[in-house]
Structure 1
Amino acid sequence: MIVPCEAPVMTLPAATLFPQSLLPVYVFEPRYRQMLVDVLESHRLLVVAMQKPTCAREVPHNIAGLGLVRMAVQHRDGTAHLVLQGLARVALGDTLRYKPYRLQRIVPLPSQTASPEESRLLLQQLRQLVERHLELGLPFPPPATLAQTDDAPAWVPCPDAMAAILRDTLDLKDPDIVADLVSAMLVGPAEMRQQLLECVGTADRLERLIAYLQEELARHGDPLGGCI
């Protein structure tokens, strides 16, 4: 995949776009409405970056997700519902302009792959933890992007559908894809999601995800937490 050298940036609180994952977004701000019009008339690509929570003004995290607009439903009032598909991790570079929306240089961040044996062992651990989460029926976190305004409809995940998608994900062979999709579906806290997005090392990402899932199991009183 050829990553462009620049792209429009949508800065959202608590939002993370992992490679290969799907992210629903409700567009209501005038600048993002204009962004959507422009990207639909061109390459359909935009970057989703998480807003740094400690900054009063708009300051996106330096590591973000490049996404493709897979679906866009535009409404009469100018708002729209999108589904973005994550394509790549990117590092944000110089800001080329701020109006009518932010446009920045971007650099792709390819994964630093682990050895086949290390990946196999880490994936085995991850699969056991995910299966245990499913056995316990722990809740799936909703996409943060649909909780930013009262105008956006409530999103309630279907547990059976999500469980089926997760099990299909666990059958995949690529450790990077598995780690990113599991992170997108099971990790709720925004800070943890951003940390996982910033992990370019496959082994590091899998280890952090495994540690998070173990903590979640332990928090729910499951003896398997921390024991794998």
Structure 2
Amino acid sequence: MARTQIPEWVPLFPLPNVVFFPKTYLPLHIFEPRYREMVEDALGGDRMIGMVLLKEGWEINYDGNPPIHEIGSVGRIIRSQRLDDGRYNIILYGLKKCLIRGERHDRSYRQGRIETVEEPQTELLLAPLKEKLVDLTMRYRQKMPGAEALESILEIGLEDDVLVATLSAGLPLTVLEKQFLLEAGDLSQRAKRLAELMEMGLHTIGQTDGQTEG
């Protein structure tokens, strides 16, 4: 299977509440006129969009070009639906982590000059670390209302890198915690960071439960 060619310049879709991971799927509802144009241009070209997280304070200049985090992910539109009023529903599939090396603003939306980040090709976790993640996920499943989907993630037998990415995207972490995971240098580091964040989350839940019972 031929490798997907990722261009040097891609449209950027900066959001304050989304961190996108390679090898995950991201459904998006596109309603702002500038991002409708972005989707139209992407669909007419290579179908690629770069997702990046806005930095804190973005509200001051949201309609302009507020600062963004340097590391994001580039994805490809694999499904699109244009609604009667011009809005879009799309699904992105994450291809690569990327560095934003520059921007240009000759369209209504931002475009980024990107450099893809190649992580070491290690797709397997050491058994103790994977077992720890599985155990933590099951504990989250028991503690969090409506977290049944976590168990199904384990049951479908995802490859380790996809499992870690899916948990990183799907767990109720803050966007800065998710950005911290995205910026990890390799699978093992991301999994270790994820385990630490999950342990902290479970500790917080335990303290809250104790206060409620008291």
Specify the alignment match of 2:128 in structure 1: 121
Of 176, 180, 188, which residue of structure 2 is paired with 1:203?
188
- Asked if 1:66 corresponds to 2:52, the answer is no
Which digits, 9 at most, give the CA deviation of each residue in 1:144-188, with x for residues without a partner?
xxxxxxxxxxxxxxx54x23541235x3343x2221111111143
- Asked if 1:51 corresponds to 2:39, the answer is no
Q: Distance in 1 between matches of 2:30 and 2:106?
A: 18
Of 1, 4, 23, which residue of structure 2 is paired with 1:20?
23
TM-score by length of 2: 0.84
Specify the alignment match of 1:104 in structure 2: 112
TM-score by length of 1: 0.79
Of 116, 140, 148, which residue of structure 2 is paired with 1:133?
140
Percent identical:
26
Q: Distance in 2 between matches of 1:124 and 1:164?
A: 14
Q: Secondary structure at the match of 1:125?
A: helix
Specify the alignment match of 1:216 in structure 2: 201
Specify the alignment match of 2:99 in structure 1: 91
Specify the alignment match of 2:211 in structure 1: none
Letter in 1 for 2:198: L
Which digits, 9 at most, give the CA deviation of each residue in 1:97-143, with x for residues without a partner?
35221111111112235696x6322111111111121233x146xxx
Specify the alignment match of 2:155 in structure 1: 168
Report if the CA contact (8 A) 1:110-1:200 is conserved. no
Number of residue-to-residue matches in the alignment: 199
Of 8, 11, 17, which residue of structure 1 is paired with 2:14?
11
Q: Secondary structure at the match of 2:90?
A: strand
Report if the CA contact (8 A) 1:187-1:193 is conserved. no
Which digits, 9 at most, give the CA deviation of each residue in 1:34-75, with x for residues without a partner?
011111111111011111113433222110011111221211
Report if the CA contact (8 A) 1:16-1:48 is conserved. yes
Unaligned runs of 5+ in 2: 208-214
Q: Secondary structure at the match of 1:220?
A: helix
Specify the alignment match of 1:152 in structure 2: none
Quote the offset at 1:199 in angstroms.
Answer: 1.0
- Asked if 1:194 corresponds to 2:179, the answer is yes
Letter in 1 for 2:150: A
Quote the offset at 1:26 in angstroms.
Answer: 1.4
Quote the offset at 1:30 in angstroms.
Answer: 1.0
